[in-house]
Amino acid sequence: MAVHAHPDDESSKGAATTAKYVAEGVQVLVATCTGGERGSVLNPKLDRPDVWENIAEIRRAEMDAARAILGIEQAWLGFVDSGLPEGDPLPPLPEGCFGLQDPKVAAGPLVRLMREFRPHVVTTYDEDGGYPHPDHIMCHKVTVEAFEAAGDPTRFPELGPVWQPLKLYYDVGFSKAKVMALHAEILGAGLESPYEEWLKRWEDRPDKSPRITTRVPCAEYFPVRDDALRAHATQVDPDGFWFHVPMEVQQRAWPTEDFQLARSLVETELPESDLFAGVRGTARAV
């Protein structure tokens, strides 16, 4: 089970890993916390009044398309997008939005889903949300809460028989080591690197390279990832930053997607190359 804040996050974070496991016969369920109702139209080709007016419906349709490409199951948790506050000082979040929920209460819908789907492995974001969007940070809090509550018979007893997932991971999308490797490979190919400015700003950004415990080889599924990402047409410009680096360069420079093992109830040896390390072949009952 992969828990994400908005539709499109499942395609920009860990999507090649998802596609790899689906191809191997693993059932994968994406839990999407919000509908992306307050998201911006980030593709200039679709920046039109009719798109803005129907953004919620359009983003649901985009999620349907991405779901089919990735071969996943998907469920909406029903929370309302918080939007990304901008300004100095930052404005307050909208009343009732996901970012203002009490995690101990908001974990309920995810607990229900965990007990119904019965995942062995759960992935989400770290305590910083991957980046400091209020919905991403709340997604982290709710997932951690639900991971612990799903197997506790005293928590949410009305939400079905308990089920305890065995491993919890945080996605590590762009570590400094990865950006440096991509940058060097691009320059070595005689191309202009889109990461030049990233590296200049890196001193202000925490380096998550040391937190990586698990590198999943999935380079052959990078094209599936990109197809799923392009399905979210309002959020991604097909001629934009995400697609500037040639596929073969990406596959050579960094052929894995990376995760931090945050919680494990099974024995495993680090570093790992499989999210199911220690789980495969283990008889399991609650």
Please give the pLDDT value at position 284: 53
Dist CA 93 CA 81 (whole Å): 10
Domains annotated for the chain, with CATH where assigned, are: 2-174+209-264 (3.40.50.10320)
Q: Decide: 196 and 203 in contact? Cβ < 8 Å.
A: no
Q: Decide: 1 and 31 in contact? Cβ < 8 Å.
A: yes
Q: Decide: 177 and 258 in contact? Cβ < 8 Å.
A: no
Here the tokens at position 253 are 């420079």
Q: Say if residue 119 is preceded by a cis peptide, omega within 30 of 0.
A: no
Please give the pLDDT value at position 286: 37
Those residues of the chain that have pLDDT short of 50 are 285-286
Q: Is 69 left (phi over 0), alpha (psi -120 to 50) or beta?
A: alpha
Is 9 annotated for ligand binding? yes
Is 6 annotated for ligand binding? yes
Dist CA 286 CA 277 (whole Å): 20
Query: Among the residues of 31-95, which ranges form H helices?
Result: 49-53, 55-70
Please give the pLDDT value at position 200: 85
Q: Decide: 212 and 172 in contact? Cβ < 8 Å.
A: yes
Q: Is the pTM of this model over 0.75?
A: yes
Percent of the chain with pLDDT over 90: 85
**pLDDT tens column, 159-173:** 999 999 999 999 999
Q: Burial code of 98-122, b = ≥16 C-beta within 10 A, e = fewer?
A: bbbbebeebbbbbbbbbbebbbbbb
DSSP string, 154-210: TSSGGG-S----SEEEEEE---HHHHHHHHHHHHHTT---TTHHHHHHGGGS---GG
Q: In 10 A of CB 215, how many CB atoms?
A: 17
Amino acid at the residue 275:
L
**pLDDT tens column, 183-235:** 999 999 999 998 988 888 877 777 888 999 999 999 999 999 999 999 999 99
